[in-house]
Structure 1
């Protein structure tokens, strides 16, 4: 009996391993997904021994698949995209520094001489549009490298007619984020281009994107000069094509910002990111180097092909609903520009950033932070207190110039909840539930129900660009 029971367990495990597992939608977990997000990267362009970022993409299935990689600036302008072929159970490392400094892209192809099959892998798959693979390195021309390095450091790009695409930090560190999508063929389209997710029928998943949840991966950021290294899993975004095609059952998706172009409720079927987080911070002897927050945020605007270097994108800056820092005796401290606190200081104004706790001028030396990263309704000219906006936070703690650790923040909600909670002094007024506006489905969400409203103009008056700082 015991032998049969063990055999049954082994058989069940084999079945489980044969097909990638899935998790609950709207709860971001490290489980095979259809899209992977690297929320933030840094690359020192001048010094190969400076900071660099590495990504691994893994195939959880036995079938050969294709992925499309898009490198975005920290303000969501496309900088570079390319394709990566993965055999069954394959892993491919992408060195961001080699791509951005040297123009070297991963060499993959449906041939054993380039991407050999393992004994557990199914056969190669021929993708008709992948004639450019494998890449001949350096794959990027000197002219394209000039564009890439300039736009990722906040400078202008000739490809975008002299427009800028990123935030100028005044150094030569490339910054941005990366999306990796499971696709059905090679492409140079981006997720908001027609034909990528949607080709005309809003009720049927179509286009070049694929919807099988087979990708998983991780990232590492190495600061050679300061002897720091940290890493984490990539953000895994599952797809579910069983979601209601008219959008009645969900509040939004990861690529829902593309809706004005697609004219379709949610063509990508990728689960959205959460909005509210809790995470530890340190700026004391325990972690003498302090804590840095690596933060990705959704501006809710369609990515553009650059913007005026002097005026910037209309969405800047991205506000937050509330940030509260607690010391280890539970004493709270909110960040305000004046007192009393009519409006909080904007902590994370762009889409991908690193912000050190020491830059925030807070009193507690250690404790935890409450971040409600829904946007302020005032910034959108709305009567609702909050505008729903997805985000992701990783806290990086460092010490003594030789130790560091990166940990994802705790998710306190789901975008699908259509909720925004403001905390305050204990009593009948707090915690308080905001009225939330969901830009993706044009509903006001009250504690007692939902009401449809007209969508505000996405090309609203610019919010101030650098003058807002």
Structure 2
């Protein structure tokens, strides 16, 4: 008891001192940039389930504040259906790795709050870090590993487009047939260990008070690797700030990040992502560009019968996808939807054959919720490959956010 009291007093004093030194950076709401955030989006992941040296993804999430944080991590299929969730506890200034290759082997990140880990063997407390107890975590943290075999099989099947008990025997992802698990991840700051998903009642409440909090404290980086091909690339994850008073994030009709789950009331307080974006590309014998694209489905998506057509709103349509070569001549891609799913990668050369230039994406859904049909949010990053190795990965430039009025969102409509 004395040890716990001393820890608390020391933590309070040091945190108060640290607060006088600096405060987290903040950016303009509606601008996608790398600043401490309340939600982290990993826009795409892939894990080769049959080859330990094949494609894999890892995430490093950091608490930039001295205060302890509790996070809710949710895995989604590449069609935007949630499959699995778990909590992470972080003392102040902690960094926690999430190794997707290990997760798909059944190993969940192990953390514990002060109540489950009073001597700091699991989640260490540094000299400037707060370490507190979340009583709600007593029955869950630290997690027992590995996951039960049935749970692991269901998870692997769900992310490879196969029948999964997670969906009652239905499917929830695209079946590529290559044994690679695909999807995306969201990480939210929360107030308690719980079993809720972002779309569940009570996860977000208007005016605050839900499970999710507006603590803008998280940063994260994503690393993609394929040892069998000697490839790797990394980029910051997508940092989504929360704000309970900004007009873009607190009112009816706001096209917030989780808007589809809160009837576009702004109750989630999360800023919107890209409405239109621009990126550089290369298509030469020695240099090529691959796009990583995440799109908001616009509505909650349900599992479907395996082998049947994909559920609405898929495939996701496009408003404008334009490539400009280095002589400023442009090509409009008007074929089948370029990015039909919630999360995917595509090579630029499959759309624009010129040796290099820049592209503009203005992505919308032609079906689905009519309130966002011309304001759909997305995220794009590009990774350039030199020979067989990636030379870098960067986010596209945001031109407008997804709440920009639709009649301002055309690139070439006046040509």
TM-score (norm 1): 0.79
- Judge conservation of contact 1:394–1:406 (CA < 8 Å) in 2: yes
Equivalent in the alignment of 1:373: 363
CA 1:312–1:249: 2 relative to 1, 3 Å: closer
CA 1:170–1:358: 2 relative to 1, 3 Å: farther
Whole-angstrom CA distance in 2 between matches of 1:245 and 1:366: 36
- Judge conservation of contact 2:299–2:369 (CA < 8 Å) in 1: no
Whole-angstrom CA distance in 1 between matches of 2:251 and 2:98: 38
Deviation at 1:373, TM superposition (A): 1.2
Whole-angstrom CA distance in 2 between matches of 1:17 and 1:75: 44
Whole-angstrom CA distance in 1 between matches of 2:270 and 2:399: 20
**Residue aligned with 2:235, SS:** strand
1:272 aligns with 2:268: no
Equivalent in the alignment of 1:137: 145
Whole-angstrom CA distance in 2 between matches of 1:192 and 1:178: 14
Of 155, 160, 164 in structure 1, the residue corresponding to residue 162 of structure 2 is 155
Deviation at 1:124, TM superposition (A): 2.4
- Judge conservation of contact 1:228–1:404 (CA < 8 Å) in 2: no
Deviation at 1:245, TM superposition (A): 11
Equivalent in the alignment of 1:296: 294
Whole-angstrom CA distance in 1 between matches of 2:203 and 2:110: 23
1:257 aligns with 2:247: no
1:308 aligns with 2:305: yes
Deviation at 1:173, TM superposition (A): 0.4
1:41 aligns with 2:45: yes
Of 215, 236, 239 in structure 1, the residue corresponding to residue 239 of structure 2 is 236
Equivalent in the alignment of 1:181: 188
Q: How does 1:346-365 map to 2 (within 5 A)?
A: 346-360=337-351, 362-365=352-355
Equivalent in the alignment of 2:210: 207
**Residue aligned with 1:430, SS:** coil
CA 1:312–1:402: 2 relative to 1, 3 Å: closer
Whole-angstrom CA distance in 1 between matches of 2:369 and 2:57: 39
1:120 aligns with 2:128: yes
Whole-angstrom CA distance in 2 between matches of 1:53 and 1:416: 31
Whole-angstrom CA distance in 1 between matches of 2:37 and 2:201: 22
TM-score (norm 2): 0.89
Whole-angstrom CA distance in 1 between matches of 2:368 and 2:158: 28
Q: Deviations over 1:152-202 (max 9, x none)?
A: 01111123221100011121000000000000011111011012112xxx4
Deviation at 1:16, TM superposition (A): 7.3
CA 1:152–1:17: 2 relative to 1, 3 Å: farther
- Judge conservation of contact 2:298–2:368 (CA < 8 Å) in 1: no
Whole-angstrom CA distance in 1 between matches of 2:70 and 2:155: 24
Q: Deviations over 1:114-158 (max 9, x none)?
A: 0010011123233424421111221x1111111111110111112
Of 421, 430, 453 in structure 1, the residue corresponding to residue 414 of structure 2 is 430
CA 1:130–1:252: 2 relative to 1, 3 Å: farther
Equivalent in the alignment of 1:281: 281
CA 1:246–1:55: 2 relative to 1, 3 Å: closer
- Judge conservation of contact 2:279–2:360 (CA < 8 Å) in 1: yes
Deviation at 1:220, TM superposition (A): 0.3
- 5+ residue gaps in structure 1? 1-12, 338-344, 432-469
Of 168, 172, 177 in structure 2, the residue corresponding to residue 165 of structure 1 is 172
Q: Structure 1 residue runs of 4+, over 3 Å off?
A: 13-18, 243-250, 379-382
Whole-angstrom CA distance in 1 between matches of 2:20 and 2:337: 45
Computed over aligned residues only, the root mean square deviation of the Cα atoms, in angstroms, reads 2.3
Tell which structure's C-alpha radius of gyration is larger. 1
**Residue aligned with 2:25, SS:** coil
Equivalent in the alignment of 2:374: 387
Deviation at 1:82, TM superposition (A): 0.4
Deviation at 1:357, TM superposition (A): 1.8
- Judge conservation of contact 2:80–2:301 (CA < 8 Å) in 1: yes
Equivalent in the alignment of 2:198: 191
Deviation at 1:366, TM superposition (A): 1.1
CA 1:16–1:328: 2 relative to 1, 3 Å: farther
- Judge conservation of contact 1:64–1:125 (CA < 8 Å) in 2: no
Deviation at 1:324, TM superposition (A): 0.8
CA 1:130–1:348: 2 relative to 1, 3 Å: farther
**Residue aligned with 1:413, SS:** strand
- Judge conservation of contact 1:63–1:122 (CA < 8 Å) in 2: yes
Deviation at 1:250, TM superposition (A): 6.6
Q: Deviations over 1:60-115 (max 9, x none)?
A: 11111100000100001112110000000000000001001x10011101220100
Equivalent in the alignment of 1:421: 409
Equivalent in the alignment of 1:224: 227
Whole-angstrom CA distance in 2 between matches of 1:256 and 1:385: 10
Q: Deviations over 1:258-285 (max 9, x none)?
A: 124xxx7122101111111111111203
- 5+ residue gaps in structure 2? 1-16
Q: Deviations over 1:390-415 (max 9, x none)?
A: 00001011112234311101101012
Deviation at 1:421, TM superposition (A): 2.5
Paired positions, count = 392
CA 1:231–1:391: 2 relative to 1, 3 Å: same
